[in-house]
């Protein structure tokens, strides 16, 4: 999941929690100011009532629902009651429902004696306040959610633009390319630090890659001469008629080991050349002709193993590739399909304008893991060096080709797509 979506999700969840927890606080704040306003009005009524008593020498009549909103009754208690505010509910015949009142009760001295006076002020219903709180918070949440979708999309794209610049350059980075990562107009310190750290890391990787590249190529070249000398000496020894049968078997075993070393060295040098881009610029070539040439050259070997060939060309698989790489690609694919095929098996080649598929029946155990890794081979193939498919993978990688496998119970297929 992208960082923007994760950020948006956590923001909305946090906002929802804040709204739920803040709803109670919002309700109490509204009630506080409603009571404060009602209390102020009731205190104003109280002052007006005191002025009325001073002027008229008596209290006005009880009147609950008309303008006066006052009730009172005489008391013999000489103690003066301090003003007390409270809430009460009274049924209103006029409205046909209960009405919430804020009341002020206190003792009012009059010429006739003390009286307990209650002043009444209509107030907001609790249910109405809760409705206002819920509607307000939901409206705020929806507006914020809608606005944040637009704002986050614009803001995050602008804020994270340097990060995507870095990511895009890293995806296009090649080990043979010593270019540096650069970001334009970045004012975020963390992204600048990330760029510097990535450039330092790439510099170390490039240095190590160059060192390993040179070591592999030099070692492969240096091994060619002594291996050729050993091969020649073995051939001279084989021509000696005084060798016993046991000595000839040992010499044959030694020759096979040297041949394997020579193949291994040649394969490693080929992979190094491919990865080092040491092949000249390619040309438009069709792999169909390379397939036909290979099958013609290996016709005798195919006859020995009694392998049947099925070819289906629905088009020309044309690549812009060096001829030697095209030949290695086809050769390694088909030789792999022949080597691991069974006696009396089948080899299918299906070529279209966009895909090149080689399928073969097999009898050996297919090794686990990445089949294109170096030195990956079936347990029963001791003569194989396990680099054929690795060369195929390197050629495909350098030519932007997709490679995949399709394995069933009896058939193994490799598909290359453009």
- CB-CB contact of 175 with 205 (8 Å): yes
Q: For residues 388 and 396, give the distance between their C-alpha atoms in angstroms, rounded to a whole number.
A: 13
Residue the block writes with tokens 């004012």: 187
Indicate the pTM of the whole model. 0.45
All domains in the chain, ordered by first residue: 3-148 (no CATH), 172-278 (1.10.287.130), 283-417 (3.30.565.10)
Q: For residues 75 and 92, give the distance between their C-alpha atoms in angstroms, rounded to a whole number.
A: 28
Long-range CB pairs of 134-143, under 8 A, 24+ apart, other chains included: 134/23, 136/26, 137/19, 137/22, 137/23, 137/26, 140/19, 141/15, 141/16, 141/19
Q: For residues 388 and 358, give the distance between their C-alpha atoms in angstroms, rounded to a whole number.
A: 14
| Residue 360 DSSP SS3 | strand
Candidates 231, 213, 352; CA nearest to 286 is 352
Residue the block writes with tokens 């036909």: 292
pLDDT for the residue numbered 131: 82
* Tens-place pLDDT, residues 262-284: 766 766 677 676 666 666 667 88
What letters, b where the CB count within 10 A reaches 16 and e where it falls short, cover 228-255?
A: eebeeebeeeeeeeeeeeeeeeebeebb
Candidates 285, 289, 320, 309; CA nearest to 358 is 309
Rg (CA), the chain: 46
Q: H or E element: which one contains 152? A: helix 126-159
Q: H or E element: which one contains 272? A: helix 245-275
pLDDT for the residue numbered 66: 45
What backbone torsions phi and psi does residue 87 show, to the nearest 5 degrees?
-110, 145
For residue 406, how many other CB atoms are within 10 A of its CB?
Answer: 11
pLDDT for the residue numbered 126: 74
- In terms of DSSP bridges, do strands 97-108 and 84-92 run parallel, antiparallel, or are they unpaired? antiparallel
Q: For residues 418 and 396, give the distance between their C-alpha atoms in angstroms, rounded to a whole number.
A: 9
Please report how the helices 245-275 and 388-398 are oriented relative to each other, as an axis angle in degrees rounded to 10: 10
pLDDT for the residue numbered 390: 82
The series of mean pLDDT values per 10 residues for the chain, 418 residues long, is 68 79 82 88 88 87 59 81 87 76 90 89 80 81 75 71 81 70 75 84 78 69 73 77 75 75 70 66 84 88 90 91 86 88 92 93 73 64 66 84 87 91
- In terms of DSSP bridges, do strands 402-407 and 346-351 run parallel, antiparallel, or are they unpaired? unpaired
Q: Which two tokens stand for residue 256?
A: 């096979």
pLDDT for the residue numbered 308: 92
Long-range CB pairs of 335-343, under 8 A, 24+ apart, other chains included: 335/298, 335/388, 336/388, 336/389, 336/392, 336/414, 337/412, 337/414, 338/298, 338/301, 338/302, 338/305, 338/307, 339/381, 339/384, 340/364, 340/378, 340/381, 340/412, 341/305, 341/307, 343/305, 343/306
pLDDT for the residue numbered 281: 62
pLDDT for the residue numbered 84: 92
Q: Please count the CA atoms within 13 angstroms of the CA of 176 that sit on its side-chain side.
A: 10
pLDDT for the residue numbered 275: 66
């Amino acid at each position: 999941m992208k960082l923007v979506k994760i950020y948006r999700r956590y923001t909305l969840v946090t906002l929802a929690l804040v709204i739920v927890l803040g709803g109670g606080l919002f309700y109490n704040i509204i009630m506080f100011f409603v009571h404060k306003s009602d209390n102020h009005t009731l205190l104003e009524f109280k002052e007006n009532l005191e002025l009325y008593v001073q002027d008229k020498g008596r209290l006005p009549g009880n009147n609950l629902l008309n303008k006066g909103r006052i009730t009172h009754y005489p008391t013999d208690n000489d103690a003066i009651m301090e003003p007390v505010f409270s809430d009460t509910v009274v049924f209103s015949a006029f409205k046909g429902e209960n009405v919430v009142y804020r009341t002020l009760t206190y003792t009012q001295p009059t010429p006739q004696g003390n009286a307990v006076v209650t002043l009444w002020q209509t107030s907001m219903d609790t249910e109405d306040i809760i409705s206002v709180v819920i509607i307000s918070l939901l409206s705020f949440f929806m507006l914020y959610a809608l606005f944040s979708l637009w704002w986050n999309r614009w803001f995050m794209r602008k804020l994270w633009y340097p990060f995507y610049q870095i990511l895009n350059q890293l995806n296009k980075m090649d080990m043979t390319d010593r270019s540096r990562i650069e970001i334009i107009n970045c004012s975020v310190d963390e992204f600048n630090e990330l760029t510097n750290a990535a450039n330092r890391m790439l510099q170390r990787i490039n240095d190590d890659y160059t060192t390993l590249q040179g070591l592999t190529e030099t070692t492969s070249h240096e091994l060619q001469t002594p291996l050729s000398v050993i091969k020649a000496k073995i051939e001279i020894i084989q021509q000696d008629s005084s060798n016993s049968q046991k000595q000839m078997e040992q010499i044959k075993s030694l020759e096979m080991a040297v041949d394997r070393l020579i193949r291994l060295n040649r394969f490693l040098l080929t992979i190094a050349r491919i990865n080092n881009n040491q092949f000249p610029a390619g040309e438009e070539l069709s792999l169909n002709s390379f397939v036909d040439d290979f099958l013609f050259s290996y016709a005798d070997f195919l006859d020995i193993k009694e392998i049947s060939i099925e070819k289906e060309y629905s088009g020309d698989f044309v690549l812009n590739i060096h001829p030697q790489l095209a030949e290695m690609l086809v050769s390694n694919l088909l030789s792999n399909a022949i080597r691991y095929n069974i006696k009396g098996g089948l080899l299918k080649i299906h070529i279209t304008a966009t895909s090149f598929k080689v399928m073969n029946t097999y009898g050996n155990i297919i090794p686990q893991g990445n089949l294109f890794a170096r030195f990956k081979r079936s347990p029963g193939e001791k003569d194989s060096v396990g680099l054929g498919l690795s060369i195929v993978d390197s050629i495909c990688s350098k030519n932007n080709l997709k490679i995949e496998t399709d394995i069933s119970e009896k058939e193994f297929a490799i598909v290359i797509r453009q």
